[in-house]
């Protein structure tokens, strides 16, 4: 039986629609939200993603680490114990199968369930997903990526894209058993809009006063320009598939990409070639029509989802930076990386440390008879070892 005061919002993504920014804000303000009656559960800021992986671990085997198994059930218990509004947010839920979505919704059936989906202009979404793929060790060129998407057939490149980005399918999977007014489509504002506008729209769904929460919070989200992304792609090719994911994540994604390449100029954004404008605009209109036909609750302006593109032009070649530009980018990255590498200890520093330790032990043994007896036992044992044949 549903408790009258319990309500659960399940934010399922889509990826690359401001989810990281929203999650950072929610985690930063979790205590203030709880005081306002909204629980953002989890022991740390990775807990909800681990719970999403636990829902379908076969999709994310490289992330199926200790702490994942059983994390979904534990998250549900925290929500069950909260007599108010709760929010679960992870874009890793977007590709769920109908069976996986039913498992999630069934586990939360003690409350009134709402599904929230953030959605962005598809023309901005496509190149952004390619960039994110490169940041997670993919080596597909942008031209190859676009060719797979517009080809119409499901391939090893296009299948994971549409699993996450096919908006009508995602909404049917998660909202098919709910009244349409409990499926909330939050549109991402267009480029150049105030940065806090997405949070204001999202807060409207939760029923909280957005103005009470500052949007200037620490977060790890970062973006790369075209040259920086292509350089990283070539690094992925050179590294090959054998580097374990934890090492790649720490060295390449979190250091080279996030702390070196992201700090370079990055002024050349990743744009669609004219030959891809037509199918991208048609897809966006199909998404908007599906939302309208289903009668979902739209928060924001549906026009934000219509790309400002013209279908003229037939060229599909991607205008990638040439080798001279990539070389300049690589040199700048290496220089910045060198500045980040800590200086090695001066020659003999290790020996000086050993001498300091020996001196300290000597002082202690002279002050404490038991320590002196231990030193003498050590000397005798060492002498016997040296004299043995």
Mind listing the pLDDT tens digit for each residue in 12-46?
999 999 999 999 999 999 999 999 999 999 999 99
Question: Looking at residues 321-341, what average pLDDT do you find?
Answer: 93
- Does residue 122 contact residue 280 with C-beta atoms inside 8 Å? yes
The DSSP result for 45-112, as a single string, is TTHHHHHHHHHSGGG-GGG--TT-TTHHHHHHHHHHH-SSEEEEE-GGGTT--HHHHHHHHHHTTTSE
In this structure, what DSSP letter does residue 188 have?
Answer: P
For residue 48, give the nearest of 29, 67, 21 by alpha carbon.
Answer: 67
Query: Would you state the pLDDT for residue 368?
Result: 60
Task: Give domain status of residue 277, yes or no.
Answer: yes
Residue 286, pLDDT above cutoff 70: yes
CA separation (Å) from 32 to 212, 272, 351? 9, 41, 52
Domain check: are 217 and 355 in the same one? Answer: no
pLDDT > 60? residue 2: no
Residue 233 lies in a domain: no
Stretch 95-121: mean pLDDT, rounded? 97
DSSP category for residue 297: E
Residues 153 and 196 in one domain: yes
Asked if residue 158 has pLDDT above 80, the reply is yes
- Quick one: pLDDT at residue 359? 64
What is the pairing mode between strands 38-39 and 7-11?
A: unpaired
Contact 118, 205 (CB under 8 A): no
- 108 located within any domain: yes
Structure confidence by residue, pLDDT tens digits, 244-267: 988 999 999 999 999 999 999 877
Tokens 């909800």 belong to 48
b/e 142-177 (16+ beta carbons within 10 angstroms → b): beebbbbbbeeeeeebbebbebbbbbeebbebbbee
pLDDT digits (tens, 9 = 90+) for 61-102: 777 777 899 999 999 999 999 999 999 999 999 999 999 999
**Domain final position from 287, 314, 341:** 314
Looking up tokens 């003498």, which residue turns up? 376
- CA separation for the pair 353, 269 (Å, rounded): 50
Does residue 205 fall inside a structural domain? yes
Residue 283 lies in a domain: yes
| pLDDT at residue number 301 | 93
Q: How confident is the model at residue 367 (pLDDT cuts 50, 70, 90)?
A: low
- Residue 227 is predicted with a pLDDT of 96
Q: Are residues 151 and 62 in the same domain?
A: yes
| Shared domain check, 354 and 283 | no
Per the model's pLDDT, the better-predicted residue between 325 and 389 turns out to be 325
The pLDDT-based confidence of 309 (bands split at 50, 70, 90) is confident
Q: Report if residue 255 sits inside a domain.
A: no
Longest Cα pair distance anywhere in the chain, in angstroms? Answer: 91
127 and 45 in a common domain: yes
The H or E element that residue 291 is part of is: helix 277-294
Structural domains of the chain, count:
2
Kindly provide the b/e burial profile for residues 342-368, where b requires at least 16 CB atoms within 10 angstroms of the residue's own CB.
eeeeeeeeeeeeeeeeeeeeeeebeee
Range(s) of the domain holding residue 366: 349-380
Q: What span, in angstroms and rounded, lies between the C-alpha atoms of 198 and 188?
A: 6
Mean per-residue pLDDT, 49-70: 86
β-strands 112-119, 183-187 pairing: parallel
Instruction: Please check whether residue 196 lies inside any domain of the structure.
Output: yes
Say yes or no: 305 and 359 in one domain: no
pLDDT of the residue at 1: 43
**Confidence (pLDDT) at 3:** 47
- Same-domain status, 276 and 376: no
**Has residue 228 been placed in a domain?**
no
Can you give the pTM of this predicted structure? Answer: 0.84
Contacts of 125 (CB under 8 A, 6+ apart): 14, 16, 17, 165
Q: What is the CATH number of the domain that holds 125?
A: 3.40.50.300
Q: Are 287 and 119 in contact (CB under 8 A)?
A: yes
Token pair 């030959």 is found at: 275
* Sheet arrangement for strand 85-89: 38-39, 85-89, 7-11, 112-119, 183-187, 297-299
Mean pLDDT for the chain overall: 89
Among residues 130, 306, 91, 163, the alpha carbon closest in space to that of 232 is found at: 130
The percent of residues in the chain predicted with pLDDT above 70, rounded, is 86
Give tens-digit pLDDT for 166-221.
999 999 999 999 999 999 999 999 989 998 999 999 999 999 999 999 998 887 77
């Amino acid at each position: 039986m549903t408790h009258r005061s319990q309500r659960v919002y399940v934010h399922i993504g889509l990826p690359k629609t401001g989810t990281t920014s929203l999650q950072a804000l929610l985690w930063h303000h979790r205590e203030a939200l709880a005081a306002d009656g909204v629980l953002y559960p989890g022991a740390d800021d990775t807990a909800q993603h681990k719970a999403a992986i636990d829902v379908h671990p076969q999709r994310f085997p490289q992330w199926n680490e200790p702490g994942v198994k059983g994390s979904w059930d534990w998250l549900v218990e925290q929500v069950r114990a909260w007599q108010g509004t709760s929010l679960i947010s992870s874009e890793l839920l977007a590709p769920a199968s109908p069976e996986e979505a039913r498992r999630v919704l069934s586990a939360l059936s003690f409350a009134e369930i709402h599904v929230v989906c953030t959605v962005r202009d598809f023309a901005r979404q496509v190149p952004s997903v390619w960039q994110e793929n490169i940041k997670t060790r993919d080596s597909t060129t942008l031209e190859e990526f676009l060719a797979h998407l517009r080809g119409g057939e499901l391939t090893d490149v296009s299948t994971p894209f549409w699993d996450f980005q096919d908006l009508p399918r995602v909404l049917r999977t998660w909202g098919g058993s709910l009244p349409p007014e409990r499926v909330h489509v939050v549109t991402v504002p267009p480029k150049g809009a105030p940065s806090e506008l997405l949070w204001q729209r999202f807060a409207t769904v939760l029923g909280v006063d957005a103005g009470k929460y500052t949007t200037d919070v620490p977060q790890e989200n970062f973006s790369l320009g075209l040259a920086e992304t292509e350089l990283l792609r070539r690094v992925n090719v050179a590294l090959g598939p054998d580097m374990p994911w934890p090492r790649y994540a720490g060295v390449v994604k979190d250091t080279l990409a996030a702390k070196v390449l992201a700090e370079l100029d990055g002024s050349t954004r990743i744009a669609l070639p004219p030959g891809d404008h037509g199918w991208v605009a048609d897809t966006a209109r199909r998404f908007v029509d599906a939302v309208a036909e289903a009668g979902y609750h739209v928060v924001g302006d549906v026009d934000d989802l219509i790309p400002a593109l013209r279908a003229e032009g037939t060229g599909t070649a991607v205008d990638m930076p040439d080798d001279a530009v990539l070389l300049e980018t690589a040199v700048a990255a290496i220089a910045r990386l060198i500045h980040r590498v800590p200086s090695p200890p001066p020659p003999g520093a290790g020996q000086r440390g050993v001498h300091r330790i020996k001196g300290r032990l000597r002082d202690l043994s002279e002050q404490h008879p038991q320590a002196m007896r231990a030193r003498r036992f050590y000397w005798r044992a060492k002498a016997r070892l040296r004299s043995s044949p």
